[in-house]
């Protein structure tokens, strides 16, 4: 599982003629589910992201998490994060999980964040979406559950 995490002052997802989710001060998270990912991958990412200290404290040091600042998140499912671009100019997405299972893990990931008290907005799984965002920083971090799993061994 891979997440692209961006600190934002606002982000909103528009799909199906409506706003499906949004957040104010907080994080925009693009979430890619790889074939074979499990609930453990979602748990590892949710734990790390919820505690990730990328918000400024009173001394302007990056010492606070999204939970510390009372922020919210917008989570967008994004299978293109699993792109294989090694050969040719057209990426393939064979490394992405099948849609039904990917959606289950996407929903589970959001539930884990919500269970921590973080307000969660969501995209429209499998739909064309327009994401409007105001990056704050900018701060962008790419995080992979595989890296977190190796750290735990």
Domains of the chain: 2-152 (3.50.80.10)
Q: What is the pLDDT of residue 116?
A: 97
CA distance linking residue 131 with residue 134, whole number of Å: 10
Tens of pLDDT along the chain (153 residues)?
999 999 999 999 999 999 999 999 999 999 999 999 999 999 999 999 999 999 999 999 999 999 999 999 999 999 999 999 999 999 999 999 999 999 999 999 999 999 999 999 999 999 999 999 999 999 999 999 999 998 865
Say what angle helices 145-152 and 39-51 make with each other, to 10 degrees.
Answer: 90
Q: For 80-129, where are the E strands, in sequence order? A: 120-122
Q: Return the number of other C-beta atoms located less than 10 Å from residue 122's C-beta.
A: 17
Q: What is the pLDDT of residue 151?
A: 80
The three-state secondary structure class of 89 is coil
Name the DSSP class of 53: -
The residues facing 77 across adjacent strands are: 31
Q: Looking up tokens 């064309």, which residue turns up?
A: 128
Q: What is the pTM of this model?
A: 0.95
Q: What is the pLDDT of residue 3?
A: 98
CA distance linking residue 124 with residue 14, whole number of Å: 8
Q: Looking up tokens 């061994």, which residue turns up?
A: 153
How many helices (H) and strands (E) the chain has is answered by: 3, 8
């Amino acid at each position: 599982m891979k997440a692209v995490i961006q600190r934002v002052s606002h982000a909103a997802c528009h799909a199906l003629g409506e706003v499906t989710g949004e957040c104010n001060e907080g994080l925009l998270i693009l979430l890619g589910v790889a074939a074979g990912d499990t609930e453990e991958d979602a748990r590892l990412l949710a734990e790390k992201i919820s505690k990730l200290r990328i918000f400024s404290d009173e001394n302007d040091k990056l010492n606070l998490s999204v939970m510390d600042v009372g922020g919210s998140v917008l989570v967008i499912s994004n299978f293109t994060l699993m792109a294989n671009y090694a050969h040719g100019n057209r990426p393939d997405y064979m490394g992405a999980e099948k849609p039904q299972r990917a959606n289950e893990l996407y929903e589970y990931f959001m539930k884990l964040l919500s269970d921590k008290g973080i307000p969660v907005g969501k995209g429209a799984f499998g739909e064309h979406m327009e994401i409007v965002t105001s990056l704050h920083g900018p701060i962008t971090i790419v995080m992979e559950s595989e890296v977190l799993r190796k750290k735990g061994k």
